[in-house]
Structure 1
Amino acid sequence: MTIYAMPGHLIRRLNQISVALFMDRMTQAGIKLTPVQFATLTAIETNPGLDQASLAGLIAYDRATLGKVVDRLDARGLVRRTISEHDRRAKCLHLAEAGQELLAAARPHVEAVQPEMLSGLSTTEQAQLIALLKKTTDAGNTLSRAPLAQAANG
């Protein structure tokens, strides 16, 4: 079997294409944002007061790397950290006004680039691929070092 027929290679390559298209769109819009930062800000927006460990589960990212992402977002004034009322060691995350503004500016561009990532497929095929990707991802979550939290599985 050639690597060009192996799911792992094709998924990795599609991820590269996806990230490149996302970054190109953000650059064209003059927005400094990566796909992981977008996912992070979106999850915080949807779940204000979320702690970093829960955030890592929601976006299926390892805690150590996500900590660095949150540090960068905090340094840019996009998120605020507060001390948890339930566990003084935990930090709760909230979007700062600048984070809300950045998400509002980025979201239309992110939504517009999604079809480009699957441009070789018909609308029906795009829907089928997304359904299959969700099914495969859901099945593989237990195998991951950064499993997606059940709350986000909808």
Structure 2
Amino acid sequence: MKTIYEMPGHLIRRAHQISTAIFAEECMAFDVTAIQYSALCAIGMHESLDATRLSRLIAFDRATIGGVLERMEAKGWIERVSSPKDRRVKLLRLTPEGENLVERVESAVQRAQKRLLEPLAAEDRKEFLRLLSQLAQVHNDITSAPIQPID
């Protein structure tokens, strides 16, 4: 019988904890979380993005993304504006402060990613990322927040 320390689910959860801790250390000076960074990047890359589409794009459940957006709005990083097509729909936009933050935090994010994979040999990093991507794609639809690309 395998111990939990040999089970993929446990190891993936531990890797996530480690990834989150490294991100927090590297990005501490910017007071931004990994999910906030993901949201900022997605909002910056897509015009006419509402909260529902954002949650689908970054695979974060709709109920939780609302609180994330409220905190980002309170920090002055994003704004919500009414859609010209439907005034009830609020579109998300980066503020100049949000755009500036994305630029300033980029090197810290890259350091975090490098630190996370540093223990692996270069070829192992590529294979690790390939396998993680494969798992994420194959099991995407069974999660509570599957990634749904925007057309």
Under a length normalisation based on structure 1, what TM-score does the superposition of the two structures give? 0.94
1:6 — aligned with what?
Answer: 7
Task: Tell me how far 1:127 sits from its aligned partner.
Answer: 0.5
SS in 2 for 1:150: coil
Identity of aligned residues (%): 37
- Which ranges of 4 or more aligned residues in structure 1 deviate by more than 6 Å? none
In structure 1, what is the Cα distance between the partners aligned to 2:114 and 2:123?
12
In structure 2, what is the Cα distance between the partners aligned to 1:73 and 1:49?
18
Spell out, residue by residue over 1:66-93, the C-alpha distance to the aligned partner (whole angstroms, 9 max, x if none): 0110011111110011111222221100
Task: Tell me how far 1:106 sits from its aligned partner.
Answer: 0.5
Spell out, residue by residue over 1:10-63, the C-alpha distance to the aligned partner (whole angstroms, 9 max, x if none): 000000000000000112xx2110000000000000012201000000100001
Gaps of 5+ in 2: none
SS in 1 for 2:93: strand
1:43 — aligned with what?
Answer: 42
Q: CA RMSD in A?
A: 1.2
1:61 — aligned with what?
Answer: 60
In structure 2, what is the Cα distance between the partners aligned to 1:117 and 1:76?
28
The count of corresponding residues between Structure 1 and Structure 2 is: 150
1:101 — aligned with what?
Answer: 100
1:118 — aligned with what?
Answer: 117
In structure 1, what is the Cα distance between the partners aligned to 2:17 and 2:43?
25
Task: Tell me how far 1:112 sits from its aligned partner.
Answer: 1.9
1:25 — aligned with what?
Answer: 26
Matches within 5 A, 1:53-92: 53-92=52-91
8 Å contact 1:48–1:95 — kept in the other structure?
A: no
8 Å contact 2:26–2:111 — kept in the other structure?
A: no
SS in 1 for 2:24: helix
SS in 1 for 2:84: coil
In structure 1, what is the Cα distance between the partners aligned to 2:106 and 2:63?
26
